[in-house]
Structure 1
């Protein structure tokens, strides 16, 4: 899949345009990651910032929406196609300004695209 598609929800993901996913639980293919802290999409680079709680020692991670395979509004859960290890190995998210940094977002998109997770 093209890198630009990493920033778009799959048509069959269950995401409804404009839907607020804040607070939804986030699950990787092999276990729970945390909760959606916020969502953003500067310049069309749509992503979720996930608060991992104690799983990654209180660290947040940035996940492109192209890896979202399912949005379950009833259980308030977002499921990703990637594993916990893949999320942990992604370019490290450190500051909120990175959610608007095209170079950082491009690196994240390239990482997830290269892992075939779209």
Structure 2
């Protein structure tokens, strides 16, 4: 498990500077969308995933620590999250995600509470 929710696990295969935009994103139980935006800034890394028609075009902010594998050969990213966990995530709000610490904590709380970061089953 990565200590910081907003950092990539060293075993994920993340290479700083790699443009992940447009890459396929896979939950533990199937395809969920593609990367719309991302950051690999140390301590503040994330993916913004466009879920497309799957959940009516919702974009979600995924902390980098949810990434288990970055497959450079097929340009796909695998998460430790299920489709349901992604579906239940708060919608990405581009005007808040960088400046609003309360919004970021809401996102973090979602992924920690009963999710893969809570220490329960499925924890990374």
TM bucket, shorter chain: 0.7 to 0.9
Instruction: After superposing the two structures, state which structure 1 stretch, 32-41 or 75-84, moved more.
Output: 32-41
Which residue is equivalent to 2:43? 44
Which residue of structure 1 aligns with residue 116 of structure 2?
Answer: 116
**TM-score (normalised: structure 1):** 0.87
In terms of fraction of residues, the more helix-rich structure is: 1
Q: Is 2:65 the counterpart of 1:66?
A: yes
Query: Within 5 A, what are the aligned runs for 1:1-118?
Result: 5-40=4-39, 44-93=43-92, 95-100=93-98, 101-114=100-113, 115-117=115-117, 118=124
Q: Is the 8 A contact 2:4 2:43 kept in 1?
A: no
Q: Distance in 2 between matches of 1:14 and 1:47?
A: 15
TM-score between both structures, scaled by the size of structure 2: 0.83
Q: Could you say what secondary structure the match of 1:82 adopts?
A: coil
C-alpha deviations, 1:28-73, integer Å up to 9, x for none?
Answer: 0001110000113678322111111100111111111110000001
Name whichever of 21-30 and 4-13 sits farther off: 4-13
Structure 1 residues without counterparts, runs of 5 or longer:
none
**Structure 2: any 5+ residue segments left out of the alignment?**
118-123
1:70 & 1:113 partners in 2: Cα distance? 20
Question: Hey, what's the Cα distance between the residues in 1 that align with 2:59 and 2:91?
Answer: 9
Greater relative contact order (Cα < 8 A, sep 6+) = 1
- Report the number of matched residues: 116
Segment of structure 1 superposing worse, 106-115 or 34-43: 34-43
Q: Determine helix, strand or coil for the equivalent of 1:78.
A: strand
